[in-house]
Amino acid sequence: MNALPHLESIFDRLRRGYHLGPDDEPEFSCLCERFDEYAAYFAALGITLVRHEREFFYFNADDPETVPDTLPRIAVFSYIIVDHAANHGRPIEEFIFGQNFLVTALPHFTLDRYTALLRQVEVHDMSDLENVLNHMQRIGWVKWLSNDEFRFLRPFYRVFGKCVELTQAAHTSADDGSGSASASAEDLVNRE
């Protein structure tokens, strides 16, 4: 077997929870071209390398029962931005992945129900939102373009689909009168 290129860099980034996507060259191309070889190498170490259907890579969690303390914050943050797009009749995927966002223009504190969700996960102000975004950057889900501007990266699809499902379920419940048009923070984390 030929030496796997960029193995140390790939391992180091993935073991810290990073998701490697198209913005992460040359590691991303190496994983695309020789996925089976990398997967076999990591499997021998007891680590599962995952190739997501949307073409990005990450390590499967060692213990799926353990929820990192940042996950509830990320889940609520993500749900709110997806719900906001749905509430405004925007094509959700295009809204999320087709533009840049300004932190100061985020909808997270514009509705009482959003603020209540954020408080459940101890996010109280814009500084806390920036901390959530900084963590999302560390795992490869967003990219900062300036101090106030960011965009979502392809690995955000890891949580995006679940948020869309929850938003659609909440809107369906509200439309037919069978429930609340809002999810709780616990609902969001338990579905991730």
Residue 181 pLDDT grade (very low, low, confident, very high; cuts 50, 70, 90): very low
- Tens digit of pLDDT for each residue in 27-50? 999 999 999 999 999 999 999 999
- Tens digit of pLDDT for each residue in 142-177? 999 999 999 999 999 998 988 888 777 766 665 555
pLDDT surpasses 70 at 136:
yes
- pLDDT, mean of residues 117-125: 95
Residue 61 has what DSSP assignment? Answer: P
C-beta neighbour count of 143 within 10 angstroms: 15
Residue 104 has what DSSP assignment? Answer: G
pLDDT of 105 reads 95
Say yes or no: domain 71-191 is CATH 1.10.10: yes
- 41 vs 38: CA distance, rounded Å: 5
pLDDT of 176 reads 57
Say what the pTM is. 0.84
pLDDT of 155 reads 96
pLDDT surpasses 90 at 106:
yes
**Helix, strand, or coil here: 125?**
coil
What length does the chain have?
A: 192
- 52 vs 21: CA distance, rounded Å: 10
- Tens digit of pLDDT for each residue in 107-116? 999 999 999 9
Q: What CATH number should be reported for the domain whose range is 7-59? A: 1.10.10.2250
pLDDT of 69 reads 79
pLDDT above 70: percentage of residues in the chain? 84
Domain ranges of the chain: 7-59, 71-191
Residue with tokens 């106030």: 148
Identical fold, 7-59 and 71-191: yes
